[in-house]
Chain A
């Protein structure tokens, strides 16, 4: 089969690789009908995530039709149409029973490595390094789904792939970012980053009833899409984020702040951004936490910082004393996808939201490697790439 494989920094190739096989009785094999390039795939593309190996199949946002099921998998049958959450969940461990699916205790088959790096292992993820299990990703014609009886969302008739594909990651991720803000009708929610997760966080905050949603980015088409979703926008390349946020909140700052940027915050003219670039260049810091620092500074005391943006390692010069004295609450983590998918699928089917609004490019598998660069460089108005194998 054909698949998009990682071969090094900024080197993704469309390779021919062996078809996957059932390895465990709970497995399933699906034929992928649609998959997407996620913003967090770019951290792999740019070489910021450790423990990738040449030939690893990329992709953790995908859906398809079940082709084969393992002998103990009674939840699925051949022909079922499913979306696959990017977090692999056993459904039986203590964390899964609590709904903390992204820290499933059993699905990471490289648990020993993750234990050493994180203290305790987190869930296995598709196509996201060997630290998270080394599972083959979904940017392929076929994928093996481990724990498939609990790691799937069945798709009803009458909705298109484009409407439900993002239930696997970016829609629940934006939703959880807003949910963990515990939005009140009096709240201003400020969202850094108007990429796909930021776009869903904006709409989630609106649907959950925020008084005001403010979106921060510098890419014109992303800001335009944020406005379409109901946000007041700030172009950080043209105006001061701190001053505008204070203007829009009568000098008090937003109650809730969402970091939908993560480890690769783009350099601005600020001193801390230049500092991060310099430290990263000489490998004294792995991530660039400009957004974290800015959120801690502008957030209203007793406010909440929600962090769906991915961080991979070490950050420096984070003003934790400021956060402590302001009594800020931090909420973060990979998304507990399965917690939200039933509710979000219902909202899609009822027409409360159509997630396909975010798709700007649909291509075939062979064009995938080129689209990584287009997406990374925000060329051609690219916000979300869907690949049809």
Chain B
């Protein structure tokens, strides 16, 4: 069901898609700057590969009819990033890695909230709509229940188009 909440979640997913692409481009095009900012010197190739992952996820988020699997994909990517940054915290530039770790933790929380919001409103509400028939019996049993109704002459199929047998 498309609720107000899920519309907001979809808008957030779009925003995360653009964020993924921007971050991915930075990681692919300027890996040295990213590793310097995050305290991961010497891991440029790894960061570039993470950038490719971010771009692919971003494209998926912006083009998919259902963005939820792609947001969960981002959550998986966050876990990988946090693991890498945790290793960085044990390295020589622990301060920068620590800041990046906390920032990534915040992003991961946003990703999880978005993924849950995209899933939450659907099933129970949809079940309610599937019960709204307005008919006292299943539709199959109501088929033709109004066959006592006589279609007015001016609304009948023109004679020329009626089957021969029914003229």
Are these two chains actual partners, yes or no? yes
Interface residues of A (CB under 8 A from B): 99, 179-180, 182, 184-185, 199, 203-204, 206-210, 219-222, 224-225, 227-230, 237-238, 302, 304, 327, 329, 331, 339, 343, 347, 351-358, 374, 377-381
Pick the contact of A209: B1, B65, B147, B155 (CB < 8 A): B147
Q: Does B125 contact A (CB under 8 A)?
A: yes
Can you give 27 contacting A-B residue pairs, CB < 8 Å? A180-B155, A182-B155, A203-B134, A206-B135, A206-B139, A206-B142, A208-B144, A209-B144, A210-B143, A224-B130, A225-B129, A228-B133, A229-B135, A229-B139, A230-B140, A230-B142, A329-B158, A329-B161, A331-B155, A339-B152, A351-B136, A352-B135, A353-B134, A353-B135, A356-B134, A358-B134, A378-B2
Is B139 a contact partner of A220 (Cβ separation < 8 A)?
Answer: no
Residue-by-residue, is B35-79 near A (CB-CB < 8 Å gives 1, otherwise 0)? 000000000000000000000000000000100000000000000
Query: Which 5 residue pairs of A and B lie closest in terms of their CB atoms, listed nearest first?
Result: A230-B139, A357-B134, A209-B144, A207-B146, A224-B129
Q: Does B80 contact A (CB under 8 A)?
A: no
Is B125 a contact partner of A381 (Cβ separation < 8 A)?
Answer: yes
Q: Does B22 contact A (CB under 8 A)?
A: no
Q: Given A207-B145, A238-B65, A339-B152, decide whether A380 and B134 contact each other with a Cβ distance below 8 A.
A: no
Pick the contact of B146: A208, A230, A356, A380 (CB < 8 A): A208
- In the assembly, what is the distance between CA of A209 and CA of B151, in Å? 12
Is B142 a contact partner of A228 (Cβ separation < 8 A)?
Answer: no
- In the assembly, what is the distance between CA of A295 and CA of B10, in Å? 32
- In the assembly, what is the distance between CA of A352 and CA of B141, in Å? 11
B67 to chain A, nearest CB (A): 14
User: In chain A, what residue has the closest Cβ to B126?
Assistant: A224
Is B146 a contact partner of A355 (Cβ separation < 8 A)?
Answer: no
Segment 135-167 of B: residues with Cβ below 8 Å from A: 135-136, 139-140, 142-147, 149, 151-152, 154-158, 161, 166
Q: Does B7 contact A (CB under 8 A)?
A: yes
Pick the contact of B156: A182, A227, A352, A379 (CB < 8 A): A182
B residues contacting the other copy or chain, number (CB 8 A): 35
Pick the contact of A208: B133, B136, B149 (CB < 8 A): B149
Q: Given A221-B125, A224-B126, A381-B3, decide whether A357 and B142 contact each other with a Cβ distance below 8 A.
A: no
* Residue in B65, B144, B154 whose Cβ sees the most chain A Cβ within 10 Å: B144
- In the assembly, what is the distance between CA of A199 and CA of B129, in Å? 12
Q: Given A180-B155, A302-B161, decide whether A228 and B131 contact each other with a Cβ distance below 8 A.
A: yes
Interface residues of B (CB under 8 A from A): 1-4, 7, 65, 122, 125-126, 129-136, 139-140, 142-147, 149, 151-152, 154-158, 161, 166
Q: Given A206-B139, A347-B146, A353-B134, decide whether A221 and B152 contact each other with a Cβ distance below 8 A.
A: no
Give every chain B residue within 8 A of A374 (Cβ-Cβ).
4
Give every chain B residue within 8 A of A343 (Cβ-Cβ).
149
A374 to chain B, nearest CB (A): 8
User: In chain B, what residue has the closest Cβ to A327?
Assistant: B161
Pick the contact of B129: A207, A228, A230, A339 (CB < 8 A): A228
Pick the contact of A185: B126, B144, B161 (CB < 8 A): B144
- In the assembly, what is the distance between CA of A378 and CA of B1, in Å? 10
- In the assembly, what is the distance between CA of A236 and CA of B151, in Å? 32
Pick the contact of B155: A179, A302, A358 (CB < 8 A): A179
Give every chain A residue within 8 A of B142 (Cβ-Cβ).
206-207, 230, 352
Pick the contact of B152: A99, A304, A327 (CB < 8 A): A99
Give every chain A residue within 8 A of B161 (Cβ-Cβ).
302, 327, 329
Give every chain B residue within 8 A of A355 (Cβ-Cβ).
134
Pick the contact of A379: B2, B147, B155 (CB < 8 A): B2
Given contacts A225-B130, A230-B140, A357-B134, 16 further A-B contacts (CB under 8 A): A99-B154, A182-B155, A199-B134, A207-B144, A207-B146, A209-B144, A209-B147, A224-B126, A228-B130, A228-B132, A229-B139, A327-B161, A352-B145, A353-B134, A354-B134, A380-B3
Give every chain A residue within 8 A of B135 (Cβ-Cβ).
203, 206, 229-230, 352-354
Give every chain B residue within 8 A of A377 (Cβ-Cβ).
7
Pick the contact of A179: B3, B131, B144, B151 (CB < 8 A): B151
